[in-house]
Chains A and B, each alone.
Chain A
Amino acid sequence: MNTTLILFLAFIAITLGITAWASRLSGSSASYFAANRRVSAWQNGVAVAGDYMSAASFLGIAGLIAFFGYDGFMYSVGFLVAYLTVLLVVAEPLRNAGKYTMADVLAYRLHPHPVRAMASLSTITVSTFYMIAQMVGAGALVALLLKGSGISFRVAVSGVGVLMIVYVVFGGMIATTWVQIIKAILLISGTILLSFMVLAHFGFSLGAFFTAVSQVHYHLPDGTEVVKDFLTPGLRYKPPYGALDLLSLGMALIFGTAGLPHILVRFYTVPDAKTARFSVVWAMWLIGIFYILTTFLGWGAATIVGRDFIAKNGGNNMSAPLLANALGGPIFFAFISAIAFATILAVVAGLTISASTSFAHDVWTNIVRRGQEHNPGEERRVARIAAFVVGAISIAIAIVLGPTANVAFLVALAFAVAASANLPVILFSIFWKRFNTAGAVAGLATGLLASIVLIFMGPSIMTVDAPTVAAAARHIIQHAPIFPLENPGILSIPLGFLGAILGTLLSKRDLAGEEKFAELQVRANTGLGAEKAVAH
C-alpha cells in the first residue's frame, strides 16, 4: 500500500472521529448551522482561511506561477486584498443583523419571499459551480496521486463526495469547522516547509533564488527552447486584452470574496461582531503568508523541477506535489499529496453546508413554511436532505464531465456571480435607505445573468481549438469568443450594481422598508438584538 494512501486514510479517520463527536453536539439549529456561535476568533480565522485556500489556490496558483511566473502571482495578491472588503464593510454588519445565511440580512427590511428566493438561487449557483470545479479537480488529482493503487477517477470522485456528505449531514457546522481548521494548519505547515526546502536548495540565498527565477528554461510545444524571466509580467496576460483581463480578474476577486456564501456563513459561528472582526484579521495573516509563499512553490517548481517535466507528468496542477517529490522524496510527496486531498475535502464540505443551509433556511423554512418550523428539528432535517442531494448531484456531474474536463472557468464564474449579484445587494441593503425589494431582485438577477452569459460568450467556453487538442479538453463551443475577456467582472459587476439601482429607482418607494432602515442600522452597528452564542 502506498504512503499517500495511508496518510489519506489517517486524515479520513481523524475527521470522521471529529464528525462522530460533533454529531452528538448538533442537537439544535444554532448548533447544526452555526456551531452554537461559540467558535473563537482564532478558530474561525483559521477556518475562514481553510474554507478559502482551496485546491484551486494550492495546486492551481502554484501551477500558474510555475508555468507563467509573475502573472500567476496576481491571483495571490487579489485573494488577500479581498479580505479588506470583508473586514471593513461586510463581516460585522452581517454578523449583527443575520442568523444563518446571507439572505437574512437582505430579507431584513425587504419583502422576504422574492429576496430570499433570489438570494438562495444565487447562493446555490455559486456553491454548486465552485463545488463541481473542485470535484473534477479532486477526482483527477486523487487518481493521479494514487496511481498504481488501482483507484480510478470515478472511485475517487465518489469517495470525496461521500465523505463530504458524511461530514455535513452528521457533523453539521461544528464538524465542518474543525475539518477546516485541521486542513488549514496542515496546508500552511506544508507550504512553509516546502518553501523552506526551496530556499535551502538555493543555499538560503534569496539572490541565487531570484537569479534562477529570472532565467527559467523550457520548451515551447514546437520544440524550441526558450529562456524567460519569471519575475516579469505578461507571460499569461498578453495584448490585446491581457491588461483588461487582469483588471477584470482583480475586480472579481476583491469584490467577489465578500459575496461568497461559504465564507459569509462562517461569521455566524462566532459569538459577536467583535470576534468576527478578529477572526478576519487572523484569516488575513494566514491567507497572506500562504499566498506570498505560493511564489516560492511556483517558482521553486519552475526552477528546480522544470516546466517541461511537470507538463509531461500530470500538468501544471501537479507542480507543488512534484516539487515536494524533487526536494523531499516519495514520503514528502505523499505528505503534500495528502494535504492537497484534505484541502479538497474540507472546501467541498464548506460549500455543501452553505448551499444546504441556504435551501433549508431560506427556501424551506422562510418561504415554504412562512418562517416557522412545523415540526421541531425540521429545518435541520431538510438541510441534511439538501446536503445529500447537492452532494449526489455534484458527484454525478463530476463523473459525467470526466477527469479532463475544462472546468477552471467555474471558479471564475463563482467569484463573478458573488461580486456581481451578491455584493451589490448586500451593500445596498446595509447602506442605502431607499433600496427596496425590486432593486434587490433586479440586482441579483442582473448580476447572475450577466456573469453567466458573459462567461459563456468568453474564451473559456468559446474558443476554436487546434486540431491537436484532445476531444475531452476541447472548448464547449468551437467559435471565436464574442466577449474577449476570461473574467466578466469588469462588465458584470457594474451591471449588477446598475440592476440594483435601476430596479430600486424605477419602482415604488417601500416606506415600511425605509422605516426599518433605522432599526437595521442600529442593529448592524451596535449588535443590539443580534443572535447570541448558545450557553453551555
Chain B
Amino acid sequence: MPTPPSPDPHTASATASVWNRVAQTDDFKKLLAVKKAFVIPATIFFVLYYFALPISVGYFPAFVQRKVWGPVNIAYLFALSQFIVAWLIAYFYVRAAREFDARAAAVIKDLGNLEAKGN
C-alpha cells in the first residue's frame, strides 16, 4: 500500500471548507455508497433474523418444539444457527471492508491533492 500523504488534522480543521470539499469528492461519495450498500442490508437482515428467534419461540411454541433429530428440536437448532449466521455476516463484512479501506485510501489521497493546490 502506498503511504498516503498525512494531512495535519489541525490545520485541516482550521479550514473547515477542506473537509466539505473532501466530502464532495466522487471518491468519498462512492465510499459512503458502497458502505451503505453493505451495512444497511446486512443490519436489517441480522436484526430480522435475530428477532425471528424470540418471536417464533414466544408465539409459535408448537412449531419450534417439533423434534428434528432425536430429542433435538427446531428451537435449539434455530438458536445455534444464530451463531453461524453472526459469524458469516462478520466474515462477509471483513471481506467487503477491504474495498472500504481501498476507497478510504483514495479519499486520503484526494485530500493531499486538495491541500497541495493551496487550500
Contact = CB atoms under 8 A, between A and B. Distances in A.
A214 B71 contact: yes
A526 B104 contact: yes
Interface string B22-42: 110000100110010001001
Contacts, number: 154
Contacts of B65: 232-233
A207 interface: yes
Interface centre among A73, A88, A213, A515 (most CB of B within 10 A): A88
B118 interface: no
B71 A529 contact: no
A210 B70 contact: yes
A459 B46 CA distance: 30
Contacts of B51: 247, 250
Given A232-B65, A528-B9, A281 B104 contact: no
A288 B83 contact: yes
A372 interface: no
B54 A211 contact: no
Contacts of A88: 39, 42-43, 46, 89, 93
Given A231-B76, A243-B54, A292 B12 contact: no
Interface residues of B, number: 52
Contacts of B76: 70, 73, 231
Interface string B82-119: 11001101100110010011001001100100000000
A535 B9 CA distance: 18
B59 A243 contact: yes
Contact of A77 (B23, B73, B82): B82
A112 B102 CA distance: 33
A74 B55 CA distance: 12
Nearest to B32: A525
A522 B93 contact: no
Contacts of B12: 528-529
A373 interface: no
Contacts of B42: 84, 88
A254 B71 CA distance: 29
Q: Is the interface of B mostly helix, strand, loop or mixed?
A: helix
B94 A81 contact: no
A464 interface: no
Nearest to A96: B104
Interface string A74-88: 101110110111011
Interface stretch (A98-106, A189-197, A272-280, A442-450): A272-280
Interface string B54-71: 110111010011000011
Nearest to A76: B79
A244 interface: yes
A424 interface: no
Contact of A70 (B7, B9, B75): B75
Contacts of B13: 519, 529
A83 B80 contact: no
Contact of B82 (A80, A211, A232, A284): A80
The 6 A-B residue pairs whose C-beta atoms are closest, nearest first, are A243-B58, A529-B9, A214-B71, A519-B19, A518-B23, A246-B54
